[in-house]
Structure 1
Amino acid sequence: MKIIAMIPARYSASRFPGKLMKDLGGESVILKTYKAALNTNLFSEVYVVTDSEIIQKNISDAGGKVLMSKKEHECGSDRIAEAVENIETDIVVNVQGDEPFIDEVSLSKLIDVFKKDTHQEVDLASLKVQITNKEDIENPNNVKVITDVNNMAIYFSRSVIPYHRDAAVNVKYYKHKGVYAFRKQALLDFYKTPMTPLEAAEKIEAIRYQEIGKKIKMVETTVEAVGIDTPEDLEKAKKYLNL
């Protein structure tokens, strides 16, 4: 199986414009993420996929592989699908460009899903992490996921799912982490399908995969990503590196 990593990288970000080019230990955030993905040794190839000439130059000047997006895209899956269409691979792993401290263990678990899936019944694998705080559970910015007994995703929602009607019943809540591993064909099928009704309502791209019949295996992790969404997050990342 050929497994590649794709790192979608937009320059503009509403909460923190240009965050991927901010300095983190002498390198940009996106370059540090790219090198971290390479250093896992999990992938045949690692690419940054961007709409920005600034990011393209930063990665290519460092000897990295970078692809330019030809179109505007609504989500990371679309950006990756356009880039991977003419690349020969079996599995594509989406690595978040604003998470330079890559969780190698979780990525390995995602890849293992496909290594064990001898009948090719799984189209995507993604991560979930248990949440217990009431605010986190009720926060619509946290996408929740429910699964069946085999950890196949049933549904994703910004609402509280499941609804805890009976307080005597022990219920666990899981947040979806937007890290995916895809079979290439699932990614292309997603790309060729217009936004679906439930996806449009919830603004969750994982739902489109479900609405077109793709099977998503969820893998539980206990690692919360150190993402850089705000200037405060960048300062935390610097402290994490002891800078």
Structure 2
Amino acid sequence: MSQAFTVVIPARFASSRLPGKPLQDIAGKPMVQHVWEQACKSRARQVVVATDDARIVAACRGFGAEVLLTQVAHNSGTDRLAEVAIQLGLAGDDLLVNVQGDEPLIPPALINQVAANLAAQPLAAMATLAEPLEDAAALFNPNVVKVITDCNGLALTFSRAPLPWARDALACNPDQLPADVPYRRHIGIYAYRAQFLADFVAWGPCWLENTESLEQLRALWHGARIHVADALEAPPAGVDTLADLERVRRLLGA
């Protein structure tokens, strides 16, 4: 029997590219409600929205979600999850899945997958997902995070840089990916053990995390293991910009 888990949806009101993003209307509902409804379709025993804004608290209570008001001054979503784990009184070996508040189309199967993967990996502190990267332009795009794992599916590193660098092949033809290199794009959904979240916050940011602006590098810097598996299905893109929002509105018939 798979281990029970809690889904936490961090939802910040402030966004430089799309202010008030969690409350943006999509088909008559705030975006965070779509995320919550998708998460409720997973096998999670509990789905909680974590926010720093009273307007999001009011909206979530309006559609029946459990919501926690957290501190404003968190460096990352993972730091916010650590506060939630404390507020919920979770035990150290309890599992949490972080589902971003700007993923209104997140497939429930991916939530179940990442939780089950962590439950099956007792030596890992975190689990996440990836998918094959088959476009040379994406390899060179710093907004596309690349991941390399070892033979056991544990992450060696994540980077915004082209990784791994196929020295000879890319020097000859940078517009085509070499067929014998399994390039992978990281998908930003995570499962954690509650005790690890406390450790993560206590460590504080490291220079590598700050340099790449990738918080998962803090875990690797301190020797924690991250399990990575290919997603069972391709995740739809999230909402970062107004153009993304309009695309999702069209998909959902708004």
TM-score by length of structure 2 reads 0.90
Q: Does 1:106 align with 2:110?
A: yes
Task: State the partner residue of 2:161.
Answer: 159
Corresponding residue for residue 229 of structure 2? 219
Q: For residue 234 of structure 1, what is the amino acid of its counterpart?
A: L
- Following the alignment from structure 2 to structure 1, what is the Cα–Cα distance between the partners of residues 190 and 119? 15
CA distance in 1, matches of 2:129, 2:118: 14
How far apart, CA to CA, are the structure 1 residues paired with 2:118 and 2:156?
19
Q: Please give the secondary structure, in 1, of the residue aligned with 2:167.
A: coil
Contact residue 123 and residue 186 of structure 1 kept, 8 A = yes
Deviation of 1:211 (Å): 1.0
**Structure 1 SS opposite 2:9:** strand
On the 8 A contact 2:95/2:191 being kept in 1, the answer is: yes
Which 5+ residue runs of structure 1 have no aligned equivalent? none
CA gap of 1:15–1:71, structure 2 versus 1, over 3 A, is closer
* Counterpart position of 1:97: 101
Counterpart code for 1:33: V
Which letter maps to 1:239?
R
State the match for 2:137 in structure 1.
Answer: 135
**AA in 1 matched with 2:205:** M
User: Which of 3-12 and 193-202 deviates more?
Assistant: 193-202
What pairs up with 1:118-197 in 2 under 5 angstroms?
A: 120-167=122-169, 170-197=180-207
- Structure 1 segments, 4+ long, off by >6 Å, are none
Looking at structure 1, the residues matched to 244 and 207 of structure 2 have their Cα atoms a distance apart, in angstroms, of 34
Code of the aligned partner of 1:228: V
CA contact (8 A) 1:109 1:219 kept: no
Which residue identity does 2:207 align to in structure 1?
P
Q: Give the total of aligned pairs.
A: 240
Shift in Å at residue 169 of structure 1? 7.0
1:186 alignment partner AA: F
- CA deviations 1:161-206 (Å, max 9, x no partner) are 1111132771121111111000111111101111112112211100
- Supply the distance in 2 between the matched residues of 1:137 and 1:8 (Cα, whole angstroms): 28
**1:240 aligned residue:** 251
- Counting aligned pairs with the same residue, the percent is 34
Which of 77-86 and 43-52 deviates more?
77-86
Residues 25 and 177 of structure 1, relative CA distance in 2, 3 Å threshold: same
Q: CA RMSD in A?
A: 1.5
Q: Normalising by the residue count of structure 1, what TM-score does the alignment of the two structures yield?
A: 0.93
Give the whole-Å Cα distance in 1 for the aligned partners of 2:48 and 2:144: 28
Write the mapping of 1:2-81 to structure 2, written as runs, cut at 5 A.
2-40=4-42, 42-81=43-82
Is the Cα–Cα contact under 8 Å of residues 118 and 192 in structure 2 kept in the other structure? Answer: no
